[in-house]
């Protein structure tokens, strides 16, 4: 069995399968869990007493807005300290891409109101956005949704917050943007149907865009 870099002893283990918790030890080498069980007597450089603590797989936060601050605060320590290792971002119909002259100011005003910093939107397409995110070493994993509000504003501009019915041409443009995002690596699409511009969208519009997401096996979140 050798030695471990870290040995967590006598901890309550919840393995994430739905099975009952059990008490045991966890041996870690490098960044890998090497052994789980009764490991008393096995040497380790660091020994952590786990009495009163719980060890579990990292939590998934399915509704996060960490994308609003991640580029300025890539460590996201506040999430890591809660045991969160994966976040789903781009929620409530607001994603940071795609960006064009129609929606850039709208996105900036929302993000700038979210935190006291000025995020520079260097990208236009969803792929360019994901490429920019890939340059950072984030403290958590991220699954990106493309926001319906972002797309609606990109196609319709300020009219998106007043106009309910979309024209066939506008709908096709929106579908193309959803398709581009899914091809780039989006996990699905989100809507915020109580916020402008999503609150003006008709059911048919959402269904048609969700059909594009379904072509890729993506998710719809609202």
- Check residue 19 and give its pLDDT: 95
For the stretch 11-21, pLDDT in tens is: 999 999 999 99
- Check residue 2 and give its pLDDT: 67
Count how many residues are written for the chain. Answer: 222
Q: In this structure, are 38 and 144 located in the same domain? A: no
Q: In this structure, are 103 and 167 located in the same domain? A: yes
- Between CA 95 and CA 100, with CA 98 as vertex, the angle to 5 degrees is 125
How many C-beta neighbours within 10 Å does residue 82 have?
A: 11
Give residues with Cβ within 8 angstroms of 81, minimum separation 6.
none
What is the CATH classification number for the domain harbouring 142? Answer: 3.20.20.140
- Domain count across the chain: 2
Q: 132: buried, middle or exposed (CB in 10 Å: 19+, 13-18, 0-12)?
A: middle
Give residues with Cβ within 8 angstroms of 63, minimum separation 6.
88, 91, 221
Q: In this structure, are 103 and 176 located in the same domain? A: yes
- Check residue 117 and give its pLDDT: 61
Is 167's pLDDT higher than 70? Answer: yes
Which of residues 145 and 40 earns the better pLDDT score?
Answer: 145
For the stretch 48-87, pLDDT in tens is: 999 999 999 999 999 999 998 898 899 999 999 999 999 9
CA distance linking residue 137 with residue 74, whole number of Å: 7
* Chosen domain end from 25, 40, 55: 55
Domain that holds residue 81: 59-221
Helix boundaries (H) for 72-125? 77-80, 104-114
Q: In this structure, are 137 and 212 located in the same domain? A: yes
Instruction: Kindly indicate the confidence band of residue 40, based on its pLDDT and cuts at 50, 70 and 90.
Output: confident
Q: In this structure, are 119 and 191 located in the same domain? A: yes
Backbone conformation region of residue 3, classed left if phi is above 0, alpha if psi is from -120 to 50, else beta: beta
């Amino acid at each position: 069995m050798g030695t471990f870099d870290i040995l967590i002893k006598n901890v309550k283990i919840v393995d994430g399968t739905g099975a009952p918790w059990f008490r045991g030890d966890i041996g870690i080498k490098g960044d890998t869990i090497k052994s789980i069980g009764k490991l008393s007597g096995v040497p380790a450089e660091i020994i952590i007493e786990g009495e009163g603590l719980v060890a579990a797989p990292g939590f998934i936060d399915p509704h996060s807005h960490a994308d609003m601050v991640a580029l300025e605060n890539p460590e996201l320590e506040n999430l890591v300290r809660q045991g969160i290792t994966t976040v789903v971002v781009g929620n409530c119909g607001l994603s940071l891409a795609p960006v064009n002259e129609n929606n850039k100011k709208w996105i900036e005003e929302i993000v700038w109101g979210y935190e006291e910093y000025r995020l520079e939107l260097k990208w236009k397409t969803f792929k360019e956005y994901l490429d920019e995110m890939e340059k950072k070493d984030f403290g958590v994993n991220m699954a990106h949704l493309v926001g319906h509000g972002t797309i609606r504003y990109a196609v319709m501009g300020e009219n998106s917050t007043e106009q309910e019915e979309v024209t066939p041409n506008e709908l096709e443009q929106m579908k193309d943007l959803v398709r581009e995002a899914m091809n780039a690596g989006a996990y699905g699409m989100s809507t915020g149907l109580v916020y402008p511009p999503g609150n003006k969208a008709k059911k048919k519009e959402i269904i048609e865009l969700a059909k594009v997401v379904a072509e890729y096996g993506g998710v719809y979140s609202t």
